[in-house]
Amino acid sequence: MLSMKRIIVVFCLLFASVYSDQDPFYLGSTLYAPYMTSPTEPLYSLVMQREFNIAVAENEMKFSGVHGGGQTIYDFSRADAIATLAMQNGMKMRGHTLVWHHAIPSWLSQGNYTSVQLAQILVGHITTVIQHYSQKYPGLILAWDVVNEAYNVEQGYLNEQAALIAAGKDPTDPANIKSPRTIWSKIGQFDAAGNPISTWDPLRDYVRLAFRTARAADPNVKLFYNDYSNEGISTGSTGNYNFVKGLVGEGVPIDGVGMQYHLLLNKPTDVNNYSQSTLLSNLQRYAALGLDIHITELDVRIPTSDATGFIPTTPDLLAAQTQVFANVAATCAQTPACKALLCWGFTYAHSWIPASFAFFGAATPFDQNYVPTPGYLALQKGLLLRKKCCF
Ligand code: XIL
């Protein structure tokens, strides 16, 4: 017969393995250092510390954030202020982002660099930034968004090209091109002698180089591909999935996929676009590739009656948003591969939405006074499913 003591020991071991520190769940937000240390906004830091165990820099770790001054000039001061605060508060960080079509400084966009020079710049940037963090803050960065939005940007370019041709317009005229390729797409186009390379792949060549460089720079940090419009099942999200699947299949060192989740409710019935079944199907197909999943930039914007984005136009929008937060949390919680969920800002007061989408806002789990919204409660409740699922 098992003694009561033994039963308790076995139970504790089981409990410890389910909740072991080996594989914790990360809940987080963007962290902006000046607000975190501001005496006029004590609630910012209080909520960050109370609620989150992971942080991400909204802009400071991007290319222009650390490498804006010139090819050999790096300035980590603003990014490191965030890293230091995260470390002091016992948080991990997601590194965001090494290769993106935005946040490109003018020395780079106007430098007229060749294919080969661009590849050198990319390799130098990735290596320097990753190693800066692995050496100065060992273990702080859980994962790097090595490449951001590559698939969607190339797809946007190709779609526009097709539309221009269909309309009888010149697809090569810069005046007609509103969705250009990323500067990085030139990598692999010409060799060192300036001869065209026949196998050039404007989407995959730079992505492959970026991930291989990142792996060489730090073999331990997780390497993520991050993109948008991949929260459910659609033509776009399937294209995104096939793109990642192809790279993984050819051995490109990708450990995980980041799903931005900048969600939009124009009207309450748009909640149907984010049903648990469609969200879950997409998460599960990535999980089946053996990848980790992070929901990296969650916000759910709704129309507001004020430009500051504090007042939803109708209460039923907030109710629909609450349901969306619940669905997102529940699907992540029920997918073991989904190991982190980060909000892109946590308070209405400091969200990128009103500045980027006029008369939209109220997109975060805390309002402008740092009061939890119904969406916050839905998030918390949904995430509890993770614990229930394992017993
Ligand atoms: C946004 C920031 O929130 C803004 O402050 C900045 O002006 C532009 O970039 N997808 C991403 C993020 O991967 O880096 C973007 O962040 C939002 C969309």
DSSP E strand boundaries for the chain:
26-30, 54-56, 92-99, 141-148, 222-227, 256-259, 262-264, 292-303, 338-343, 360-361
71 token code pair: 């090819």
30-41 pLDDT per residue, tens: 999 999 999 999
For a mutational test of ligand 1's pocket, the pick from 61, 356, 357, i.e. the residue with the most ligand atoms closer than 8 A to its C-beta, is 356
260 close to ligand 1 (CB < 6 Angstrom): yes
- Catalytic option among 51, 60, 149, 154: 149
> Any residues with CB less than 8 A from the CB of 2 and at least 6 apart, and which?
10
Q: What is the pLDDT confidence band of residue 6, given thresholds at 50, 70 and 90?
A: low
> Any residues with CB less than 8 A from the CB of 248 and at least 6 apart, and which?
254, 289, 290, 291
Beta bridge partners of 343: 29, 298
Ligand 1 atom 4 nearest Cα: 352
Beta bridge partners of 222: 143
Judge whether residue 20 has pLDDT over 70.
Answer: no
333-372 pLDDT per residue, tens: 999 999 999 999 999 999 999 999 999 999 999 999 999 9
**Distance, CA of 197 to CA of 190 (rounded, Å):** 5
pLDDT reported for residue 156: 98
pLDDT reported for residue 19: 45
Q: Are 324 and 274 in contact (CB under 8 A)?
A: yes
pLDDT, the chain, mean: 94
The pTM of the full predicted model, rounded to 2 decimals, is 0.94
Q: What is the pLDDT confidence band of residue 389, given thresholds at 50, 70 and 90?
A: low
**Nearest atom (ligand 1) to Cα of 100:** 13
pLDDT reported for residue 390: 47
In three-state secondary structure terms, 215 is helix
The angle subtended at Cα 274 by Cα 204 and Cα 369, nearest 5°, is 100
Which one, of 237, 291, 235, 292, lies nearest residue 261 by Cα?
Answer: 237
151 close to ligand 1 (CB < 6 Angstrom): no
213 close to ligand 1 (CB < 6 Angstrom): no
72-124 pLDDT per residue, tens: 999 999 999 999 999 999 999 999 999 999 999 999 999 999 999 999 999 99
Which comes out higher in pLDDT, residue 7 or 369? 369
Cα 94 to ligand 1 centroid, rounded to whole Å: 14
292-322 pLDDT per residue, tens: 999 999 999 999 999 999 999 999 999 999 9
Q: List helix spans (H) across 111-257.
A: 115-136, 150-166, 204-217, 235-249
Cα 317 to ligand 1 centroid, rounded to whole Å: 24
For a mutational test of ligand 1's pocket, the pick from 259, 352, 360, i.e. the residue with the most ligand atoms closer than 8 A to its C-beta, is 352
Which one, of 343, 266, 314, lies nearest residue 26 by Cα?
Answer: 343
368 close to ligand 1 (CB < 6 Angstrom): no
Which one, of 116, 130, 98, 117, lies nearest residue 216 by Cα?
Answer: 130
Ligand 1 atom 9 nearest Cα: 59
**Distance, CA of 368 to CA of 372 (rounded, Å):** 10
360 close to ligand 1 (CB < 6 Angstrom): no
Q: List helix spans (H) across 307-371.
A: 315-333, 353-356
Active site residue 297: yes
Active site residue 160: no
- Longest CA–CA span in the chain (Å) reads 84
The proportion of the chain whose per-residue pLDDT surpasses 90, expressed as a percent, equals 92
- Catalytic option among 51, 154, 231, 297: 297
242-300 pLDDT per residue, tens: 999 999 999 999 999 999 999 999 999 999 999 999 999 999 999 999 999 999 999 99
Judge whether residue 3 has pLDDT over 80.
Answer: no
